[in-house]
Amino acid sequence: MHYYYTSIVLLAAAILMIENHDILFDRAVTNNITARETYRKFLFAVLAYYAVDALWGVLDSLHAASLLFADTTIYYIALASGVLFWTRFVIAYLAEENAFSRFLFYAGHIFFASVLAIVILNCFAPLLFWIDTDASYHASVGRYALLLVQILLFLLSSIYALRSMKGAPDALRKRFRTVCLFGLTMAVFLSIQWSYPLLPLYTIGYMLGTSLVHTFVIIDAKDEYKQGLEDALQREQSHHNELKFAWQTAYTDSLTGLKNKLAYIETEEQKDVLISNRSAMPFAIAIFDLNDLKTINDCFGHKAGDQYIIRAARLICEHFRHSPVFRIGGDEFAVLLEGQDFEDRDALQHSFDKMMDEANRQRNTLIIAMGLSDYDAEEDHAFHHVFARADHEMYLRKRQLKRDAEKRAEPQETTA
C-alpha cells in the first residue's frame, strides 16, 4: 500500500515535469510574462507537494513517527503554497480587476498565513493531525476545516469562471474554461479525499488539473505567441516599408523620379572613402546640361520648362540604361558609369553626341550637352576632381552646340 502510494505520486511528478519542462526550466519562455511566471511558481509548489507526499509514503512504511510528523507538517505548508500560487495565477491569467480578483488575492494569502500559524500551533496541540506511537496518522478537526476551505475556494473560482465565460471573447473564454475545469477537478478529488485521507487523491487531482492547464493554457499560449510573432513580423515589415518609402522619398527627385542631389552627395562621399583607401574600381562621370531652358521658361512658362526637364531625364536614362542617373541641379544631370557602361563609355558618348548633333541640325528644342571624364587613380585624390573635368568638358560641348546652332541660323549669302 505504501509503495503504491509513493509510486502514484512519483508518476504524477514525472508527468508534470515532462509536460511542463519548458515552463519549469526555460526562463525565456516565462520572461516578462506575469501569468506564465506565476504558473511556473505554482508548478514548483506542486512539485514540492509531490516530494513531501512521496516521502510520506516511505516514512509511513518505515514507521518513523518523528520524521513522519515533520514531513506531514511540511506537507501542509506545501499544500498551502500550491493554493496561494494557484490563486495568484488565476488573477494574473484572467487579468481582470474586479471584486472577485481582490477576494481571491486576499483569500489565497489569508489561507497560506492561516496554515502556517496552525502548523506551528499543531506542534503543541493536535489542531491538524497527530502521529501516535505506532506511527499512525490521525486527522484532527483542523484538517477537515482546511479541506473545506480549499473545496470552497476551488468551487468559487469555477462558478465565477463559468459565469464570466458567457459572452466573453474567444481568447478569454479559453481562460475562463481552464480555471473552471481546474477548480471543478480539484473540488471533486478533495471531496473524495475528505472520506479517504490516506489515498493520494490530492495528488491525482493536481495531476489531472495541471494536465488540463497544459492543454488549454500552454498550447493556447504557444498559439498566441505564434500569432504575436506574426503580428510583430507584419509590423516590422510595415515599418521597413515606411522606412524604405521615406528613404526613397528623401533620395528621389520629385519632378523626374531620378536620384536627387542628396543621393549624389552620398555617392560622392562613398567614392571618396574608396579613393582615399586606393580601393576604388574604375569609373567615369558624365555631366549633362540642357540648352535653352531659360528661354523655354520665359517664353512658354515653367510648366513647359518642367516638361523639358522630364523629357531630358527620360532620354538620358534610355541611353544609359545600366548606370545611376542623378539630377544635381535645375537643368543639370550626372551619370556614374561603372562595369559594362564604363567599358562602353566611348561608344555611349559618341552615340549620344551624334544624336544631339542631329537634333541640333534639325533645330530640335531638346538639346543636351554632355561631358565625360575617367577616374585616374594616379592624379585624382577626390571624386570632385573627376567631376570638375567632366563639367569642363560639358561646357566646352555646350558652347560648341550653341556655335553650331548660331552658324546654321545665319542667313546664307546669295550670288548675283
Half-sphere exposure of 149 (CA within 13 A, CB side): 19
Please report, in tens digits, the pLDDT of each residue of the chain (416 residues total): 567 788 888 999 999 998 888 888 876 655 556 787 888 899 999 999 999 988 988 888 888 899 999 999 999 999 999 999 999 988 888 888 888 889 999 999 999 999 999 999 999 999 999 999 888 889 899 999 999 999 999 998 888 888 888 777 776 787 888 888 899 999 999 999 888 877 888 889 999 988 888 776 665 655 666 666 777 778 888 777 777 776 677 888 989 999 999 999 999 999 999 999 989 999 999 999 998 888 888 888 889 999 999 999 999 999 999 999 999 988 999 999 999 999 999 999 999 999 999 988 887 778 999 999 999 999 999 999 999 999 999 999 999 998 888 887 666 544 43
Cell of 234: 507584419
Q: Rounded CA gap, 112 and 359, in Å?
A: 96
Q: Rounded CA gap, 279 and 270, in Å?
A: 11
Fold for the domain defined by 261-407: Alpha-Beta Plaits (3.30.70)
Identify the architecture of domain 2-235 in CATH. Answer: Up-down Bundle (1.20)
CATH topology of 2-235 equal to that of 261-407? Answer: no
Per-residue pLDDT tens over the stretch 25-47: 876 655 556 787 888 899 999 99
CA 333 to chain centre: 42
The residue behind cell 498550447 is 219
Amino acid at 284: A
Question: How, if at all, do strands 368-374 and 332-337 pair?
Answer: unpaired
Cell of 25: 526550466
Q: Residue 285 in contact with residue 372, Cβ under 8 Å? A: yes
Phi and psi at 240, nearest 5°, equal -60, -45
CA 316 to chain centre: 44
Extents of the domains making up the chain: 2-235, 261-407
Residues 6+ apart with CB under 8 A from 156: 183
Q: State whether residue 204 is helix, strand or coil.
A: helix
Cell of 356: 544631339
Q: State whether residue 371 is helix, strand or coil.
A: strand
Question: How, if at all, do strands 332-337 and 284-290 pair?
Answer: antiparallel
Per-residue pLDDT tens over the stretch 238-271: 777 777 776 677 888 989 999 999 999 999 999 9
